[in-house]
Amino acid sequence: MTIVDRAEMLAEQLVAPLGRRWSHVRAVAARAREVAAAVSGDDVESLVAAAWLHDIGYSEQIGHTRFHPLDGARFLRAHGWPVSVVNLVAHHSGARFEAEERGLSSELAEFPFVDSPVLDALVLADLTTGPGGERLSYDERISEILRRYPEDDPVHRTWVKASPILREAVERAELRIAAASS
């Protein structure tokens, strides 16, 4: 059984009971496969596994801090998952910005932040997929997030700060995909 197969099984166990979130996760994993040209061949499995696992921290079974990137990463680390996958889950889609808003930066620092093509590709997959699994542009996804959370919510404040930086990650991944196909 591959790491991707294991990731899919674990994600189904922990996220499928969450309903719409499961639709999002399945679509992000499919999108990660589509954008795999943005990473080297050795990193494709880590990318797709992290896409399956990026939201497991929302599961009530493991969501202890209520900050899903941290809860997911801690669970995966405790269960022996590869460091590359654990750190991608910990830092997916601007988690460092939300950790700061929530006063959890020192906790998230348990997991080294690596600004890499794989993280960029994961950001692209996650932030071009809506909460129900629908395909969105980056701008549509950010607008959807900002509408869903009130202005005083840490998530809203996070995306006001993080969106320009994460746009750059999406653009870098798109450039890598274009270069790989030419």
**pLDDT tens profile 92-113:** 999 999 999 999 999 999 999 9
Q: What is the DSSP string of 103-171?
A: T-HHHHTTS-----HHHHHHHHHHTTB-TTS-B--HHHHHHHHHHHS-TTSHHHHHHHHHHHHHHHHHH
Q: Report the DSSP beta bridge partners of residue 135.
A: 129
pLDDT of 38 over the 90 cut: yes
* pLDDT one-digit tens code per residue, 11-29: 999 999 999 999 999 999 9
pLDDT of 59 over the 90 cut: yes
Helix 154-180 vs helix 117-126: crossing angle, to nearest 10: 120
- With H, G, I as helix, E, B as strand and everything else as coil, classify residue 176: helix
Identify the pLDDT of residue 78.
98
Q: Which region holds residue 94: left if phi is over 0, alpha if psi is between -120 and 50, else beta? A: left
Report how far residue 63's alpha carbon sits from residue 177's, in angstroms, rounded to the nearest whole number.
Answer: 34
Identify the pLDDT of residue 136.
97
Identify the pLDDT of residue 182.
82
Report how far residue 150's alpha carbon sits from residue 131's, in angstroms, rounded to the nearest whole number.
Answer: 17
Report how far residue 132's alpha carbon sits from residue 137's, in angstroms, rounded to the nearest whole number.
Answer: 14
Identify the pLDDT of residue 110.
97
Closest alpha carbon to 15 in 31, 27, 2: 27
* pLDDT one-digit tens code per residue, 148-177: 999 999 999 999 999 999 999 999 999 999
0.85 exceeded by pTM: yes
Report how far residue 86's alpha carbon sits from residue 111's, in angstroms, rounded to the nearest whole number.
Answer: 8
Residues 6+ apart with CB under 8 A from 12: 22
